[in-house]
A and B are shown apart, each in its own frame.
Chain A
Amino acid sequence: MPPPFRLLLLLLVPLLTVGCGGADDAPDPAASASLREAARAAREAHYANQPSLPPAVVEALERGELSQEALDARVAAGEFGKFFVTATPEAIPTELLWEDGSDLPEFASPDAKKGGTLFSAIDDFPRTLRRVGPDSNGSFRPFLLDDVVMGFAQRHPVVTEIVDSNFRYFPGIAREWALDRENRTVYVRIDPDARWSDGEPITVDDVFFMFYFYQSEWIRAPWYNNVYTRNYTRVTRYDELTFSLTLPEAKPDMLGRALGLEPLPEHFFDEFGEDFVERYQWRFVPTSGAYVVREEDVRKGRSITLTRNPDWWAQDRRFWRNRFNYDRIHFSVIRDTAKRFEAFRKGELDLFGLTLPEYWYDKLPDDDALVADGYVRKYVFYNERPRPTYGLWINQAQPLLDDRNVRVGIQHATHWQRVIDAYFRGDYGRMRTTADGYGAFTHPDLEPRPYDVDAALEAFARAGFTERDDDGILVDEAGRRLSFEITTGYEALKDVLTILREEALEAGVEFRIEVLDGTAAWKKIQEKQHDIAFVAFNVAPEMYPRYWETYHSVNAWDEPWLPDGSPNPARKAKAQTNNLQSIAIPELDGLIERYRASEDAEEMRALAFRMEEILREDASFVPGFTLPFYRVGAWRWLRWPEHFDVRLSAGPLEAFLGWIEPGAREETEAARAAGETFEPVVQAFEQYRTP
Chain B
Amino acid sequence: MRLDPLTRRRLARFREIRRGWYSLLLLLGLLALSGVAEFLVNDRAVVVRHEGSWHFPTWGPVELGAAYGLEGTAARTPVDYRALAQRFEAAGGDDFVLLPPVPWGPYGNDDENGILRARPPDPDRGHWLGTDTTGRDVLARLVYGFRTAVLFALAFTALTYFIGVAVGCVMGWFGGWVDLLLQRVIEIWSNVPFLYMVIIVFSVIPSTYSVGTRIAVLLLVMVLFSWTGLTYYMRTETYREKARDYTAAAVVIGAGTGRILFRHILPNTLATLVTFAPFTVVSAITAITALDFLGWGLPPPTPSIGELLRQGTANLTTAPWIVISAFVTLVTMLTLVTFIGEAVREAFDPRRFTLYR
- Given contacts A358-B117, A502-B109, A472 and B78 within 8 Å (CB-CB): yes
A457 at the A/B interface (Cβ < 8 Å)? Answer: yes
- Given contacts A358-B117, A502-B108, A454 and B133 within 8 Å (CB-CB): no
B77 near A507: Cβ-Cβ < 8 Å: yes
Chain A positions 415 through 444: 1 when the CB is less than 8 Å from some CB of chain B, otherwise 0? 000000111010000000000000000000
A362 near B117: Cβ-Cβ < 8 Å: yes
Interface size class of A (residues with CB under 8 A): 35 or more
Which chain A residue has the least Cβ–Cβ distance from B64?
A: A468
Which chain A residue has the least Cβ–Cβ distance from B199?
A: A517
Enumerate chain A residues within 8 angstroms of B62, measured Cβ to Cβ: 468, 470-472
Enumerate B167-183 residues with CB–CB distance to A below 8 Å. Answer: none
Classify the secondary structure of B's interface with A. loop
Enumerate A25-46 residues with CB–CB distance to B below 8 Å. Answer: none
Instruction: Report which of A469, A499, A506, A512 forms a contact with B78, defined as CB distance below 8 A.
Output: A506
Enumerate A340-387 residues with CB–CB distance to B below 8 Å. Answer: 358, 361-363
Enumerate chain A residues within 8 angstroms of B61, measured Cβ to Cβ: 468-472
A494 near B300: Cβ-Cβ < 8 Å: yes
B114 at the A/B interface (Cβ < 8 Å)? Answer: yes
Instruction: Report which of A361, A422, A454, A507 forms a contact with B114, defined as CB distance below 8 A.
Output: A422
Which chain A residue has the least Cβ–Cβ distance from B74?
A: A453
Interface size class of B (residues with CB under 8 A): 35 or more
Enumerate chain B residues within 8 angstroms of A422, measured Cβ to Cβ: 109, 111, 114-116, 135
Query: In the assembled complex, how far is the CB of residue A606 from the closest CB belonging to chain B, in whole angstroms?
Result: 39
B207 at the A/B interface (Cβ < 8 Å)? Answer: yes
A495 near B295: Cβ-Cβ < 8 Å: no
A338 near B107: Cβ-Cβ < 8 Å: no
Which chain A residue has the least Cβ–Cβ distance from B108?
A: A502
Enumerate chain B residues within 8 angstroms of A358, measured Cβ to Cβ: 117, 133, 315, 318
Chain A positions 452 through 468: 1 when the CB is less than 8 Å from some CB of chain B, otherwise 0? 01100100000000001
Which chain A residue has the least Cβ–Cβ distance from B134?
A: A495
Enumerate chain A residues within 8 angstroms of B117, measured Cβ to Cβ: 358, 361-362
Chain B positions 296 through 309: 1 when the CB is less than 8 Å from some CB of chain A, otherwise 0? 00011100000000
Which chain B residue has the least Cβ–Cβ distance from A531?
A: B208
A421 near B114: Cβ-Cβ < 8 Å: yes
Enumerate chain B residues within 8 angstroms of A453, measured Cβ to Cβ: 73, 76-77
Query: In the assembled complex, how far is the CB of residue B322 from the closest CB belonging to chain A, in whole angstroms?
Result: 13
B208 near A363: Cβ-Cβ < 8 Å: no
B70 at the A/B interface (Cβ < 8 Å)? Answer: no
B251 at the A/B interface (Cβ < 8 Å)? Answer: no
B86 at the A/B interface (Cβ < 8 Å)? Answer: no
A588 at the A/B interface (Cβ < 8 Å)? Answer: no
B116 near A499: Cβ-Cβ < 8 Å: yes
Known: A498-B109, A498-B134. 8 other contacts (CB 8 A): A338-B313, A358-B315, A362-B117, A362-B315, A454-B76, A471-B62, A499-B134, A513-B207
The 8 closest A-B pairs by CB, nearest first: A472-B62, A470-B61, A514-B207, A498-B301, A422-B116, A506-B77, A362-B318, A495-B134
A-B contact pairs, 17 of them (CB 8 A): A338-B314, A358-B117, A362-B315, A422-B111, A422-B114, A454-B76, A470-B60, A472-B61, A485-B206, A497-B300, A498-B301, A506-B78, A507-B77, A512-B299, A513-B299, A515-B300, A516-B203
B-to-A contact residues, CB < 8 Å? 60-62, 64, 73, 76-78, 107-109, 111, 114-118, 133-135, 203, 206-208, 295, 299-301, 313-319
